[in-house]
Structure 1
Amino acid sequence: MVNGRATARDAYLSLRRVSGELLVDRRWGTETSRVADLGGVDAPGRVRYEPSGYLDLRRVLRHRDVTPQDVFLDLGCGKGRIVLQAARYEFGRVIGVEVSPELCEVARANVRARRDHLRSDVELIVADAATFDIPDDVTVIYLYNPFRGAVFAAAVDQIVSSLNRAPRRVRVIYRTPLEEDVLLGTGRFRLTRSVPGLRPTRAWAQKMSTRIYVAEPA
């Protein structure tokens, strides 16, 4: 039974990747669908690139909940699929941070390919999320299980430091929230919503859920 489930899972992921390549990447002139490692970067605690779904951001963030005063940050942006989605909203700007120069260069090429269709300015930065200073105007942060353990804790510390410098409302959108306890343990964020992932089984859908957390100024 375990092998059967694994085979079904692999078949589903393969179909999802191929459909993404055929229906979106080829049409847009981008390359966001293929899983990739970090291009030789020695980065313990980091997770390889796997793309978010094309509907993931739209399912949890409505256009009317974004204003030009909002700034979007994708920590661990990989090839930039979510950056491209966020830049279709009315954000003041969109930032992607990626530890791998190789993946970041792919993301830059993808943004260039879609430039005429984006509403927001995009900045892509090669940096380590554990030491990256969160800009104090960021109001929406996206995470797709990009790193674990000490790296995640350090990234959360950077978020809290930014909140301390500039108290404001910040939303964290966290897909596959395996390190949720670290975020909630800061005492700054509360869980406001959980959306199951688009997966064939209920257990798998729950594991791949996207959760939204909010920090409010004191």
Structure 2
Amino acid sequence: MKTSYERLRRTIGKLAYERRYNVRTAELIELDELGIAGAGRGYYVAASWRTLRRTLSRKEITPKDVFVDFGSGMGRMVLEAARFDFGRVVGVELSGQLHEIAQDNVRRTRQRLRCRDIELLQTDVLAYEMPDDISVVFFNNPFQGPVFETVIDRLVATIDRNPRQIKIIYYNPVEERTILGTGRAELVRELVHARRRTAGSPFGLTKVFALS
């Protein structure tokens, strides 16, 4: 009974956010339904609304900071990031269907957001030209393998061009070894976001890395 109650309470909490912000972000969709299924891709489901609030301090974010969500889906983390004082918030999403939903969500809430410079891009992440001022990156296990390795290599390249530190917030960190394997990153924080997670599994965790 307790487990059923907790599950119901979490569901009600998620729906409350949707209703409060008048957005649609809570669905779970298999990628073959979106026409983008492929190796290293799983399904679309949004991260918890509280993820950024648990991993970022408002005091550490300034208008000089740039947030990028790779695999931004319906835009939940874009909306949450835009409630901080980022100078720019970017969402990169492959699915045209999810991209259109994200655009609608941003239109509905833009006037309530701190950051007004929000850019939603419908493109393959490998075609995205990374700017040299990215300071915070978010992954919700959007892709794995060679694609993830390439994205991390390109982030490192931006640091080589413009020395700085990038904070990586990784929800369900399947490719942690790729990040640490650069020799340029360290794990700075780990949070449990699923109460009934399997020990030793990356699912149910959020890990924060500093890449420099």
TM-score by length of 1: 0.86
Q: Please give the root-mean-square deviation of Cα atoms over the aligned residues, in Å.
A: 2.5
* Equivalent position to 1:85, from 80, 84, 89: 80
Q: Is 1:173–2:202 an aligned residue pair?
A: no
Partner of 1:3: none
Structure 1 residue 108 displacement after superposition: 0.7
Partner of 2:12: 19
**In structure 2, distance between residues paired with 1:109 and 1:91:** 21
* Equivalent position to 2:26, from 23, 33, 36: 33
Equivalent AA in structure 1 for residue 21 of structure 2? W
Q: Is 1:118–2:96 an aligned residue pair?
A: no
Partner of 2:30, secondary structure, is coil
Residue 70 of structure 2 contacts residue 93 of structure 2 at CA under 8 Å; is this kept in 1?
Answer: yes
Equivalent AA in structure 2 for residue 178 of structure 1? V
**In structure 1, distance between residues paired with 2:210 and 2:197:** 28
Q: Is 1:46–2:45 an aligned residue pair?
A: no
**In structure 2, distance between residues paired with 1:12 and 1:185:** 41
Partner of 2:26, secondary structure, is coil
1:38-187 equivalence runs, <5 A: 38=31, 39-120=34-115, 121-187=117-183
CA deviations on 1:85-142 (whole Å, 9 max, x unpaired) are 0000000010000011111111111111111111112100012223422111110000
**In structure 1, distance between residues paired with 2:86 and 2:78:** 11
Aligned residues: 208
**In structure 2, distance between residues paired with 1:27 and 1:113:** 11
Cα 1:201–1:214, aligned 2, differ >3 Å: closer, same or farther? Answer: closer
Equivalent AA in structure 2 for residue 93 of structure 1? R
**In structure 2, distance between residues paired with 1:112 and 1:173:** 25
Cα 1:37–1:73, aligned 2, differ >3 Å: closer, same or farther? Answer: same
Partner of 1:203, secondary structure, is coil
Partner of 1:5: none
Range that drifts further, 37-46 or 145-154: 37-46
CA deviations on 1:21-52 (whole Å, 9 max, x unpaired) are 63121232210001123411254322321111
Partner of 2:199: 203
Structure 1 residue 14 displacement after superposition: 7.1
Equivalent AA in structure 2 for residue 145 of structure 1? N
Residue 198 of structure 1 contacts residue 205 of structure 1 at CA under 8 Å; is this kept in 2?
Answer: no
Residue 90 of structure 2 contacts residue 121 of structure 2 at CA under 8 Å; is this kept in 1?
Answer: yes
Q: Percent identity among equivalent residues?
A: 41
